[in-house]
Amino acid sequence: MERNGRHGIAWFIDKEIVSLMDRLREMYHTADIYPPLYVYITIIDGANYPIEKPQRVVGPDTTRPINENVFQLKRVKIEDLDSNIALALREPLYQLWNRIGWRNGSIHYSKNEDGSIEWEPYES
């Protein structure tokens, strides 16, 4: 996708996926659809696209493209509608960022001093 002369997948794709899942969770609750729920995230036709990173974020200067036309991330099982969706999606979102060369996973998670992981969406 091209945006304002830029070429690649937007760095905030994680936030969009988490936001979508939060909205779906509310819809499922309203429709009386109960867990377990399974989430499958697939990037289609993304072989030549890297993920852009915000300029102020320290990390690789360039990222490599996904290199697969169909890239399916790990399946996530949601056991409870009250669970933290962002934390449940951490592993597949890390998988996506690792694929494009970002060794430490998604820029939207942070590690606390006690070793726990927290959803902390980056704001540009």
Residue 121 in tokens: 């969406």
Task: Note whether residue 121 is domain-resident.
Answer: no
Predicted pLDDT at 1: 45
Predicted pLDDT at 78: 93
Q: Which domain holds residue 60?
A: 13-105
Q: What's the mean per-residue pLDDT of the chain?
A: 86
Q: Judging by beta carbons within 10 Å of its beta carbon (0-12, 13-18, 19+), is residue 86 exposed, middle or buried? A: buried
Task: Note whether residue 120 is domain-resident.
Answer: no
Q: Report how many domains make up the chain.
A: 1
Taking 50 as the pLDDT cut, the residues of the chain under it are 1-3
Task: Note whether residue 123 is domain-resident.
Answer: no
Task: Note whether residue 70 is domain-resident.
Answer: yes
Q: List Cβ<8 Å contacts ≥24 apart for 3-6.
A: 6/52
0.85 exceeded by pTM: no
Task: Note whether residue 96 is domain-resident.
Answer: yes
Task: Note whether residue 5 is domain-resident.
Answer: no
In this structure, what are the phi and psi dihedrals at residue 30, rounded to the nearest 5 degrees? Answer: -60, -40
